[in-house]
Structure 1
Amino acid sequence: MSNLRNQPCSCGSGLKLKKCCMEHLNKYTVFCDETGNSGSNYLDLNQPFFVIAGWVVPNTILKNTAFLDECASSLGVPGELKSSKLLKRKKARQEFISLFERLNELGCKPVFIYAEKKYCIAAKVIETLLDPEYNNQLDTWFTYDNVRKKALVEKVYLFPDEQLANFIHAYKDGDAEKMTQSILQLSDYANSIGLDTLSTLFKGALSKIESNMASERAANKSLPKNAMAAINLPVFTSLIQMIEPLGRKNNDTLTLIHDECGPFEEAYNEIFERFATAAPSERKLFDGNTITFGFKHLKDFSFGESDQSRWLQAADLLAGVLGRLFDNIYYDKLQDDELLELVRTLIPSFFRQDINLSNSICSNSTRDKIYEVIPSS
């Protein structure tokens, strides 16, 4: 083994194996970016989804970005590859098919999480109003019963958009009086469609609405720039909860690099530190999912500048492709052959069974609609 370590590395660098690729074995860097970012605006109909997506890149190929440079050259892009500027071009979409195939060949894995904003409002209704600490109709066990919670979210998702809008505005303002009116509206509607139990549960939130709203205001101020009130933070949390088990599967070490994201950087850093440095433990939820504390494999998190990193640009392209795909499916406007061809390169991440490479935070109907397209692509 000692002799092998001292042999020239097979990558052609001219360095000894022990000073080159051997240092990077079982080490990966995840480069990610976002699309559909409208912060605390859960009602942005022009962007119904928020997506975080990226590539898990073996550290052995981090310096191999020539093929990304060639992609930019082929498209006549003198600087940064950006999906917002390129996806409208047919030639660019065709070029990205080859690019995504090349990334797969190099052992890069696409990872992503997509969240439907309307569904997130419904989830916020349940999490806020059906908190046992502030609802006299619920026992503490309900806190971890995410199976029942998801079933209730599906029902609230079908409530009139106006009622969901009234709730989220009251929530963002932290106004107990507005929230009281929203609760009564939600309760009356639930009763009118035969959801008597849900109607009663909503009214259970009225007795402690002042303290509930005070708690929500305090929670939203617990992280910089009111980040707790936005959709970004729970989706980012889902991402790091997906990456840590990814490292555990093969005892890999991972580093996460996110493109600069302005007002959410401090909050992302703080959330990462809370989970990564906590005492090691796992919290099992009723549906079999696990929340992990004390990371052993996701070792580091930082931000990078996309104009200085081709890998972050590749993450931007992936997020842009997925965001456009989901929006087009959502509004029944998917007529893009190149976009469908791109999706074919991502199918393993949608359907892989041994480890999660993707996650969805959306209604069952929306997920079914998306999956009707994905297999046929």
Structure 2
Amino acid sequence: MDYRNIYIDESGNTGPNYLDKEEQYFILAGWLDINNEMQKAENVESLADLLGKKEVKSSDLAKTVTGKKKMLRVIEFMKEKKCVPIIAIANKKYCIPMRIIEVLLDPVYNDEIFPEFDEPKYYELKKQYADRLFKYLSHNELEKFAKIYRGKDISNDERENKMKSFIDEIYNSLSNKDIELARLIKGAKKKIKANLEAEVGNKSEILARQSPNIWLLYMFFLLVENNYSKYGYKFKVIHDEQSKYSSHIQDMFLFVNEHKYLFYGNLNHIDEIKFSNSKNTLMIQAADILAGSINMILKRKNINWKNDISFINILNTVIPYIKDSCNEDSNTVYVENLEVFLNIMKFYEQRI
């Protein structure tokens, strides 16, 4: 069996804080060494020369013209070696209405929802509902759900009562804006106790749902599985060390493989996940630069970007990966509110 390596790093990880104003996006980016070019000593040496002797994180590189030039050179080098960029992006704030839809419009625990609602073909309908919640719910309402759902430092009974109150609050809030969605959410109240109790049952599943870096990694793996399993390779994943989440990521991987019937796609070709210190792994440093360049673009903090050639060069190289998420065979998954996505494209004068 032939093996190929995927090197992954992330940007914007603030744990369970989905409403962080400074880091609004969580990004996983990786390089798939599809032709094993980075197994060659001369290519490793060339990458080492580009990166320099001391590791510098993309968040620091992005602050200077020299740093941005280095970021661009690394990305262009990886492309020259036919390494494939695999990217998963999530707007953290948008993840909250999506989770509301998943939890409160679960057909098992909501009699207002038709049984087939959980099938993949209804994903677009779920996304439409999430877009409507994103538009209509206030910051405080989203924050309240996130805290209740996380359930930190509260008993199961208290969590249940708080969620019932939240459902009533949202029903009243939505009634004058979107009565259809208000009625559907109201239907979750009757069985909310059983709904929440079912989620408490498996630690790995809970972590996979609550931690953006874990469930987004699953979506990242699905991209690889769906787009590259046809080549017959097995894939070894080398992820930057995560002192807090490494065991949870392994738990998620095992949970998916042991409960395949619960998930939209199987991970038959992801052979193993390893963790490596980025200081000792040049390809992870290259993945950090890819993730950081995407985050830099999505933040839209460079108001005078048109006068920053070093930024424009990265933008022209990387934004096609972001726009590519709209295509069926894309190597990018982008969990985003449509209006926000269009505003980002408008900011950078991009056609869709």
Shorter-chain TM-score range: 0.7 to 0.9
Matching residue of 1:218: 201
Aligned ranges 1:316-331 → 2 under 5 Å = 316-328=288-300
2:78 aligned residue (94, 97, 103): 103
Residue 105 of structure 2 contacts residue 188 of structure 2 at CA under 8 Å; is this kept in 1? yes
Distance 1:105 1:222 in 2: 39
Give the paired residue count: 335
**Residue identity in the other structure for 1:161:** H
1:202 aligns with 2:176: no
1:68 aligns with 2:52: no
Secondary structure, in 3 states, of the residue corresponding to 2:10?
strand
Matching residue of 2:132: 155
Residue 204 of structure 2 contacts residue 248 of structure 2 at CA under 8 Å; is this kept in 1? no
Change in 2 beyond 3 A, CA 1:192/1:241: same
1:141 aligned residue (98, 108, 116): 116
Matching residue of 1:365: 339
Off by >4 Å, runs of 4+ in structure 1: 276-279
| Identical positions, percent | 25
Matching residue of 1:130: 105
Deviation readout 1:223-267 (Å, 9 max, x if unpaired): 59x454222222111000001123224333322111111222122
Q: Who wins on radius of gyration, i.e. which is larger?
A: 1
2:23 aligned residue (47, 57, 73): 47
Q: What 5-or-longer segments of structure 2 have no aligned partner?
A: none
Residue 343 of structure 1 contacts residue 374 of structure 1 at CA under 8 Å; is this kept in 2? no
Matching residue of 2:237: 256
With 350-359 and 81-90 compared, the bigger mean Cα shift is at 350-359
2:164 aligned residue (162, 173, 180): 180
Secondary structure, in 3 states, of the residue corresponding to 1:262?
coil
Matching residue of 1:247: 228
Residue 30 of structure 1 contacts residue 255 of structure 1 at CA under 8 Å; is this kept in 2? yes
Matching residue of 2:329: 355
1:272 aligns with 2:272: no
Alpha-carbon deviation of 1:375?
Answer: 4.0
Residue 275 of structure 1 contacts residue 292 of structure 1 at CA under 8 Å; is this kept in 2? no
Deviation readout 1:93-147 (Å, 9 max, x if unpaired): 0122222112111111211111001110010111111111211212321122222
**Residue identity in the other structure for 1:359:** V
Q: What 5-or-longer segments of structure 1 have no aligned partner?
A: 1-22, 284-290
With 354-363 and 43-52 compared, the bigger mean Cα shift is at 354-363
Alpha-carbon deviation of 1:278?
Answer: 6.4
Change in 2 beyond 3 A, CA 1:36/1:191: same
Secondary structure, in 3 states, of the residue corresponding to 2:265?
strand
Distance 1:44 1:355 in 2: 31
Change in 2 beyond 3 A, CA 1:348/1:84: closer
TM-score (structure 2 length as normaliser): 0.86
**Residue identity in the other structure for 1:165:** E
**Residue identity in the other structure for 1:300:** E
Secondary structure, in 3 states, of the residue corresponding to 1:132?
coil
**Residue identity in the other structure for 1:209:** I
Alpha-carbon deviation of 1:347?
Answer: 4.8
Distance 1:91 1:340 in 2: 14
Distance 1:361 1:110 in 2: 17
Change in 2 beyond 3 A, CA 1:251/1:347: farther
1:309 aligns with 2:281: yes
Residue 9 of structure 2 contacts residue 288 of structure 2 at CA under 8 Å; is this kept in 1? yes
Alpha-carbon deviation of 1:178?
Answer: 1.4
Matching residue of 1:84: 59
Distance 1:122 1:154 in 2: 8
Matching residue of 2:148: 170
Change in 2 beyond 3 A, CA 1:135/1:293: same
Alpha-carbon deviation of 1:362?
Answer: 0.7
**Residue identity in the other structure for 2:188:** A
Distance 1:278 1:133 in 2: 18
Alpha-carbon deviation of 1:301?
Answer: 1.9
Residue 71 of structure 2 contacts residue 293 of structure 2 at CA under 8 Å; is this kept in 1? no
Change in 2 beyond 3 A, CA 1:72/1:119: same
Matching residue of 1:300: 272
